[in-house]
Amino acid sequence: MHSPIHSLKLTALTLLLSIAGLAATPMPKLMLLTGQSNKYHDWTKSAPLVKSYLEQTGLFTVDVVTSPPAGADMTKFSPKFSDYAAIVIVYEGDEWPAATKAAFVTYMKNGGGLVSIHDTDNAFPYWKEWNEMIAVGGWGFKADGNIGARDVTAGPMIRWRDGKMVLDEITPGTATHPARHDFPIVTRAPEHPIMQGLPASWIHASDEIYSQLRGPAKNVTVLATALADKTTHPTATGENEPMLMTITYGKGRIFHTTLGHVSPNEKPPFTSLACAGFITTLQRGTEWAATGNVTQKIPADFPTAEKISVRNQ
């Protein structure tokens, strides 16, 4: 039988070992994959902000993987996806090598995480598995160099009508968006871990309402929509367009945010990226993609149904 003092020592030792064990548990690692944009966007402005937003959660470490520049030799571009809890992508550019695409598909099927931000869903219009992962995407370059690869052959558009998601297979047209403006975003899946505690509606600052995105639209949950309002923007679709989505692909989890425009000629502050709503949904969506859960609190400065909330950058 142990003496009381001996037992106390054992307890203290166990406690110390437990604390050491906790401290030694590494935070999940995220890969931020970036390095190319089309002429309408600038990853050198958006990716550093995305990195800092993800690090601000205190939940992750973030490694940035930068691809070769547009037109350069891509044959050796082969990031080690399997080292990461999720891959956050700010990239629209050259095709990856076939082996890299295959490795990414395997990583996702085996339970990986993917976060697609804004113009990232313009990438890879003819990569079948990519289109399944993002559910719907925009524009995309055709073989002849013209934009608009995601036409009616790419699949339906996601609409929100009469309180539910509808796939529109009939309406023609490729992706579009009204001019940048502040607009309300409406929660459509309040029970989803990413959305729990967010307001039913909130105003997002100065962004493009991505509209008429097309794709396979399978295994997708629409988390939030925005009305592309014809009464204020005559060329808008007049539809509730999906802004935030989750998709499952094999055992993998995808968070797709269409928000986060920044132009090449834009000077700071980059308002759409500074919106506390963009930041919060990105942080929560990334945690969900990486772990399947969301542990973060809703910040006090989250936008309301009446006004935007933009943070200092």
**Rounded to an integer, what distance in angstroms lies between the CA atom of residue 273 and that of residue 173?**
28
- C-alpha distances out from residue 269 to 67, 137, 205, 260, 300, Å: 26, 27, 12, 13, 21
Least spacing, CB of residue 241 vs Zn ion, in Å: 14
Instruction: From 19-27, 147-155, 180-188, 205-213, give the range in contact with Zn ion by CB under 5 A.
Output: 205-213
| Least separation in angstroms between CB 14 and Zn ion | 54
Nearer to Zn ion, 81 or 210 (CB): 210
Q: Which of 90, 261, 288, 310 binds Zn ion (CB under 5 A)?
A: 261
DSSP string, 62-119: EEEEEPPPTTS--TT----GGG-SEEEEE---SPPPHHHHHHHHHHHHTT-EEEEEGG
Complex with Zn ion: residue 38 or 296, whichever CB lies closer: 38
Q: How many CB atoms lie within 10 A of CB 250?
A: 17
Site string for Zn ion, 207-226 (x = CB under 5 A): -x------------------
Residue nearest Zn ion (C-beta atom): 261
Question: Which strands form 252-257's sheet, in the order they lie side by side?
Answer: 61-66, 29-34, 86-90, 113-117, 252-257, 240-249, 220-227, 181-187, 201-207
Size of the site for Zn ion (CB under 5 A): 2
Stretch that binds Zn ion, among 19-27, 138-146, 189-197, 201-209 (CB under 5 A): 201-209
Helices (H), the chain: 4-24, 43-56, 98-109, 128-134, 271-274, 276-291
When asked if residue 204 is in the footprint of Zn ion (CB under 5 A), the reply is: no
Among residues 224 and 290, whose Cβ is nearest to Zn ion? 224
CB-wise, 94 or 208, nearer to Zn ion?
Answer: 208
Q: For residues 225 and 272, which CB has a smaller minimum distance to Zn ion in the complex? A: 272
Q: Measure CA of the first residue to CA of the last residue in the chain; give whole Å.
A: 62
Q: What is the largest CA-CA distance in the chain?
A: 84
Least CB distance to Zn ion at residue 274 (A): 15
Q: Which is nearer to Zn ion, 45 or 261 (CB)?
A: 261
Closer by beta carbon to Zn ion, 214 or else 261: 261
Two tokens, residue 296: 């973060």
Candidate segments 109-117, 129-137, 204-212, 268-276, binder of Zn ion by CB under 5 A: 204-212
**Cβ 242 to Zn ion, closest distance in Å?**
16
Q: Give, to the nearest 10 degrees, the angle between helix 43-56 and helix 276-291.
A: 70
Q: Are the C-beta atoms of residues 42 and 264 closer than 8 Å to each other?
A: yes
Residue 287: CB minimum distance to Zn ion, A:
25
Closest separation in Å from C-beta 44 to Zn ion: 15
Q: Which of residues 278-307 bind Zn ion (CB under 5 A)?
A: none
Measured at the CA of 109, the angle between CA 222 and CA 46, to 5 degrees, comes to 55
**What sign does the dihedral 224-241-176-275 (CA atoms) show?**
negative
Q: Which is nearer to Zn ion, 41 or 253 (CB)?
A: 41
| Closest separation in Å from C-beta 208 to Zn ion | 5
Report the interface residues with Zn ion, using CB under 5 A: 208, 261
